[in-house]
Structure 1
Amino acid sequence: MKAHLWLGLALAAFGLSAAGNASATTCTASALLEQPPALNFRVDNDLFGGAQQDQGYTNGALLTLVSPNLRDYTDDPCLPRPARWVNQYLEHLYPGRFEQQNMIFSVGQGLFTPTDHTRSDLIGDDRPYAAVLLATFGFNARHRNHLRTTQLALGMVGPSAQGKQVQDGVHGLLGDEKFRGWGHQLKDEPVFKLLHERLQRWPAEGEAHGWGWDVISHGGGALGNLATYANGGGEIRFGWKLPDDFGSSPLRPAGENTAPTRRSRAEGWSGHLFMTADARWVLRDITLDGNTFRRSHRVDKRPLVGELGYGLAVMRGKWKFALARYHRSREFEGQRQTPVFGSFTVSRTL
């Protein structure tokens, strides 16, 4: 088995170990009651955006493990011993020691393709074929209605990310035509991205037992050969028994059931609508700019990119479901259509 596959399995085993230890007896009952560990699974696909949308960011899958609220990142028994050991060397990534904090671990894959799936030649005026495989460690720290989140993503872009194999397998099961141009995908390259965002939630005290609304602003950026950008935006929510967290958009780094909460989930059912907007000043995007140190297909990206999303989240008991749709402005010169894709997330507390 190739080394990168061994690494992926090791990271996955590490994350599952974290989930198991989080619910072990060494973790205090108060921490588990305040915020039990959670497991999130998200699927993105441009076919959710409508007919003839099998292009651009065409598919993504992400599995995320969320810790309970932690006393700290190096000594808390809610984290397994390997996680506490690793965190000793990641101290500079901590967003701060506030009244509440937690940690996330995720593994995911993203696929990017041009518009015309029938062509096997290099399509010079459309985006490159690309697949990205990532493992991400995240640290969240909360003080009242302010949150700081820091994430470190490590992974691989290129054939080793197994994009062609995954897409061919899915299209084979669905009886869809296969994309023929994967021979021109980006070459293998290790990638990283260090992300930091700060979020603020209004009003200061949301209503947990009836109808209510809130607004969450965010601002931050990322640095790395995978992506480098600065961004800002916000989210507005309205519904029944709003959760005490920092957003329902599955694409946000502290959204969708991953941020620390000050109260347990409301009893019975709850649900809300949300709308989110984000603007980015993009300096680098490897899926458009091509490989960093080797010649590869590339396009002229647009430095300013906007995104609008909207969706519905429903919760009952230990389960939460979220469905969202996103509209993004054109990302590179000559792009024929504005990207549209959907996202579906299933979350369960453990």
Structure 2
Amino acid sequence: MDRRQADAGHHRLTQRSLWITGAALVAAALPGAAFAERTEDDKGTFSLVVENDSLSSGADRNYTSGIKLGYVGRDVPRWLDRAGGGLVRAVSNSDPDFWGLAIGQSIFTPEHIDQVPAPPDEHPYAGWLYAELTLAAEEDAPAGRAPRYLDIYELTFGLVGPSALGEQAQSGIHQILGAPEPLGWDSQLHDEFAFAFSFDRRWRSLAISTQGLEADLVPSAGFSLGTLHDEVRVGLTARVGQRLYREYATGPARVRPALASLDYFAGGELSWAIFAGVQGRGVARNLFLDGNTFEDSASVDRKPFVADFQTGFSISAADWRISYSYVWRTEEFETQPTRQDFGVLALSWRY
């Protein structure tokens, strides 16, 4: 058996093991009542998020694809409350109100995917396969007053490198679509377990309502620490629509790094929102640009400041919501010739 056959067998086994592990995590984490008859207050939100440059410019470059499947609910499992509830109470002065679990995969490539070896001054090839645990708490406000802020705590962990199956995912999609085959994956980042802890606070402020329309501004601030990302961030989102109070997010679900959101919404009558937001990040580390933590690998010179701008819409009715965002991101490394843009499509279902 040659090396390619051996590697293919290894990756198929790794893929099967990871999906089995992910399914086991979901089954273990969801409370027993999750698939029983639910009341309106008990319902959680399942979401599928797809971020891809084909949803905007269509060019494979830098951050080219992200997909995330997640669940957010109110019935916080006892094991998760024991693990992280103390931190939430100490910082937010409130019990956890929401919890979440997600699994996802992100893919990064250079702009010229037809070159072998991959261009050294372009974004390194990298795959990222991960799981994400979330706890969130609203301010414990007095009776008669709405909470002024929402805190989100996230632990993200997973695999970077060949075992993250980025090559297989991109090559498979390109084969189905008849797109050019990416040729430089032999230079991707090496296998590494990576993690990051993230905290974000979002304030509800300047909410107004007139003639059936509502509008608000939602400032946010947060940070991430770990081998995956080290960064601090501030952001601001403006929204206009109807029944904005049904949303517990500053927009649709996103894949980090992004304007953080809690993909939870209240069902019922038709509601909609048009939004625009900006986030600035001071970045001290980005594994996908700086390269592997403990061994030499492909890398580029990272820029210390990055900004995201996004605009889009969301529509929800009964137990369904769909949203679309257009995102453009300033240059993340010194030899990046232009900013990046990509689209985000999110479908959510309450159950």
The TM tier, using the shorter chain, reads 0.7 to 0.9
Match of 1:286 in 2: 287
Per-residue CA distance 1:236-262 (angstroms, 9 max, x = gap): 11012223423114325752533xx7x
Match of 2:4 in 1: none
CA contact (8 A) 1:200 1:216 kept: yes
Match of 1:155 in 2: 158
Structure-to-structure mapping, 1:227-246, within 5 angstroms: 227-242=229-244, 243-246=246-249
Paired residue secondary structure (2:97):
strand
Q: Rate the CA distance shift 1:6–1:208 in 2: closer, same or farther, 3 A.
A: farther
**C-alpha RMSD of matched pairs (Å):** 2.4
**Residue segments in structure 1 that go unaligned for 5+ positions in a row:** 74-78
Question: How many residues are treated as equivalent by the alignment?
Answer: 327
The one-letter amino acid of 1:274's match is F
Q: TM-score, normalization: structure 1?
A: 0.86
**In structure 1, C-alpha distance between the alignment counterparts of 2:122 and 2:61, rounded to whole Å:** 10
**In structure 1, C-alpha distance between the alignment counterparts of 2:98 and 2:85, rounded to whole Å:** 14
Structure-to-structure mapping, 1:206-285, within 5 angstroms: 210-242=212-244, 243-251=246-254, 252=258, 254-255=260-261, 257-258=263-264, 264-267=266-269, 269-285=270-286
**In structure 2, C-alpha distance between the alignment counterparts of 1:210 and 1:66, rounded to whole Å:** 29
**In structure 2, C-alpha distance between the alignment counterparts of 1:42 and 1:346, rounded to whole Å:** 7
CA contact (8 A) 1:198 1:219 kept: yes
Per-residue CA distance 1:99-137 (angstroms, 9 max, x = gap): 761100000000000000110113111110001011000
Verify: 1:38 aligned to 2:45, yes or no.
yes
The one-letter amino acid of 2:49's match is R
Verify: 1:346 aligned to 2:347, yes or no.
yes
Paired residue secondary structure (1:6):
helix
- Residue 14 of structure 1: CA displacement? 2.6
Paired residue secondary structure (1:9):
helix
CA contact (8 A) 1:44 1:342 kept: yes
Paired residue secondary structure (1:88):
helix
Q: TM-score, normalization: structure 2?
A: 0.86
Verify: 1:330 aligned to 2:331, yes or no.
yes
CA contact (8 A) 2:96 2:135 kept: no
Identical counterparts, % of pairs: 28
Match of 1:133 in 2: 129
CA contact (8 A) 2:228 2:287 kept: yes
Per-residue CA distance 1:86-105 (angstroms, 9 max, x = gap): 54234455354527611000
Verify: 1:23 aligned to 2:34, yes or no.
yes
Matching residue within 186, 194, 198 for 2:197: 194
Per-residue CA distance 1:61-84 (angstroms, 9 max, x = gap): 0001111x24xx4xxxxx3xxxx3
Paired residue secondary structure (2:233):
strand
Structure-to-structure mapping, 1:164-203, within 5 angstroms: 164-203=167-206
